[in-house]
A = this chain, B = another copy of it.
Amino acid sequence: MKLTRRVRQILANYESDNPGSKTNLARILMQGRLGGSGHLLILPVDQGFEHGPARSFAPNPEAYDPHYHFRLAIDAGLSAYAAPLGMIEAGAASFAGAIPTILKVNSSNSHATTKDQAITGSVADALRLGCSAIGFTIYPGSDDAFEMFEEIRDLAEEAKDAGLAVVVWSYPRGGNLSKEGETAIDVTAYAAHMAALLGAHIIKVKPPTASIEQPEAKKVYEEQGIDVSTLTARIAHVVQCCFNARRLVVFSGGGARGTDALLDEIREIRDGGATGSIIGRNTFQRPRAEALAMLDSIIGIYRGRG
């Protein structure tokens, strides 16, 4: 599969990586219906770990079956499928080679008493399961943030040596952050930047609000006239904070809601220059046909149609 000019431009930004990591990035970038466009649409199914199975899968009981998600991601023509160890183990052989997988190597859950995650997968797991990348969540702001940063540093070094790609979910929370601050524009842009500094190839953050959390930041945003008035402007700012777009950045779809609202948001995200979206609950909590239709619309948006 000859790489497109756009994908080659993107890979050139990963200038310190070995051909193995570039190969796995290329696999993700060339996969599915957005393949070659430089855009990504990823299905993450870590909700079961994060929120419990019933909260995650009861709205669409087929989704209790790990094969359901592989099949959905493939049939929808997505770029990659991300999930924790057990979910990948349960389908990796049946769907070997059909879609790049991202092994989520740390996980939290709704019983957790700290803003931290447990390491629940390894680079060796990713290799034996044929994954193209590891995924790791950091919680900037949390009391455990430094420990999480040190964990991803170790895992990223090992993953890059083995020619894998590294995806970082950067979700500010805990510590001195207000609830609103978790998605504030300054906090989100900072979180994305920290993921880039930690060596992430692909960065996942939430679509930011216009709120500004840190007083020192507020001053700068105002003085410098950084436009945070629209989601598109905020996305553009986050993309700039990812090494001036030298790193791929995808935005989560957030809580379950109506399709139109979601698509409108994705149009704004696209217009801000985002690499793409990573949409879990809004995908697998819908009936399959509806989910496929919605994903088709999202792909259309990223392909510039709609």
A-to-B contact residues, CB < 8 Å: 1-3, 7, 11, 13, 15-27, 29-31, 48-49, 51-55, 57-59, 61, 64-66, 74-75, 84-99, 107, 109-114, 116-122, 124-125, 127-131, 140-141, 143, 145-147, 149-150, 153, 157, 161-163, 172, 175-177, 186-187, 189-190, 193-194, 196-200, 214, 216-217, 220-221, 224, 226, 237, 240-241, 243-244, 246-247
Contacts and interface: CB of A to CB of B under 8 A. Distances in A.
A279 B116 CA distance: 35
Contact of A66 (B23, B117, B147, B246): B246
Contact of A130 (B122, B163, B177): B163
A172 B112 CA distance: 11
A248 to B, nearest CB: 13
Given A85-B199, A111-B141, A220-B55, A146 B117 contact: yes
B241 A54 contact: yes
A27 B31 CA distance: 12
Contact of A98 (B3, B55, B75): B3
Given A58-B226, A190-B53, A240-B64, A96 B162 contact: no
Contacts of A199: 85-86, 89
A295 to B, nearest CB: 15
27 contacts: A1-B98, A15-B92, A20-B129, A21-B130, A23-B130, A27-B97, A29-B97, A49-B194, A49-B197, A54-B189, A55-B216, A58-B220, A66-B246, A86-B200, A87-B197, A107-B197, A111-B187, A111-B190, A112-B175, A113-B143, A117-B146, A120-B153, A122-B153, A124-B161, A128-B161, A130-B163, A162-B162
Contacts of A65: 243-244, 246
Contact of A90 (B15, B61, B90, B95): B15
Given A23-B130, A86-B243, A112-B145, A3 B198 contact: no
A196 B16 contact: no
A96 to B, nearest CB: 4
Given A54-B226, A107-B197, 20 more contacts: A1-B97, A3-B95, A15-B19, A15-B91, A16-B18, A16-B129, A18-B128, A19-B93, A19-B96, A19-B130, A26-B98, A52-B193, A52-B214, A85-B197, A90-B196, A111-B141, A111-B187, A111-B190, A117-B146, A127-B127
A90 to B, nearest CB: 5
A94 B26 CA distance: 11
Nearest to A93: B15
Nearest to A1: B98
A211 B64 CA distance: 22
A3 B93 CA distance: 12
